[in-house]
Amino acid sequence: MYSFMGGGLFCAWVGNILLVVATATDHWMQYRLSGAFAHQGLWRYCLSNKCYLQTESIAYWNATRAFMILAALCCFSGIVIGILAFAQLPTFHRLTRPFSAGIMFFISTLFVLLAMAIYTGVTVSFLGRRFGDWRFSWSYILGWVSLLMTFFAGIFYMCAYRMHECRRLSGPR
């Protein structure tokens, strides 16, 4: 049980770090504008080595920002619950800490999936036509990797929960 929780905790730490880095950096998309290279993130865009804040309140950027922040918060709370799961004090029998941590990691995965789907859909359909020479960049890729890491953290904690439940149910009463 503890090896699954340790693996889940490792995946969660890496996933949370990647979530924060992906959300904070400005390399989600790179493109060429008037012969110069430019890149943009969720918070600012850069043209010719000068960066500017994105002052427009565009719905898909706001939704992507919000879902990425919610994902990082859920992942962090899952990490706290996951650390507390090592000290498994007998509290509730139905809702154990490994189960709660797994659920938080799956909710974080859902938020990352929503953020990445919204950003991908709008970028490909709208901005992809506006800029001829463009591509997704490393911040965007980190977002997808964080999705995988939080998902596997949830899987590990659910496996730890199942092992704990099997031991609890098979033991003497």
pLDDT digit string, tens, across residues 146-159? 999 999 999 999 98
Distance CA 123, CA 56 (A): 16
- Greater confidence (101 vs 34) lies with 101
| Structural domain contains residue 34 | no
Over residues 95-117, the mean pLDDT reads 92
23-68 pLDDT, tens digit each = 999 999 988 877 788 888 999 989 888 999 988 878 988 999 999 9
| Structural domain contains residue 87 | yes
| Structural domain contains residue 69 | yes
Residue ranges of E strands in 83-165: 134-136
Q: 94 lies in which domain range?
A: 1-27+57-170
Over residues 94-118, the mean pLDDT reads 91
H helix or E strand, kind and range, residue 7: helix 2-24
| Structural domain contains residue 4 | yes
Enumerate the β-bridge partners of residue 36: 33
Q: What is the CATH classification number for the domain harbouring 132?
A: 1.20.140.150
Q: What is the pLDDT of residue 161?
A: 82
Over residues 83-103, the mean pLDDT reads 74
| Tokens describing residue 169 | 């149910």
Which span out of 45-54, 79-88, 93-102, 147-156 was modeled with the highest average pLDDT?
147-156
| Structural domain contains residue 61 | yes
Percentage above 90 pLDDT, the chain: 50
| Structural domain contains residue 98 | yes
At residue 76, φ and ψ (nearest 5 deg) are -65, -45
Q: What is the pLDDT of residue 85?
A: 81
| Structural domain contains residue 166 | yes
- Total domains in the chain come to 1
| Structural domain contains residue 35 | no
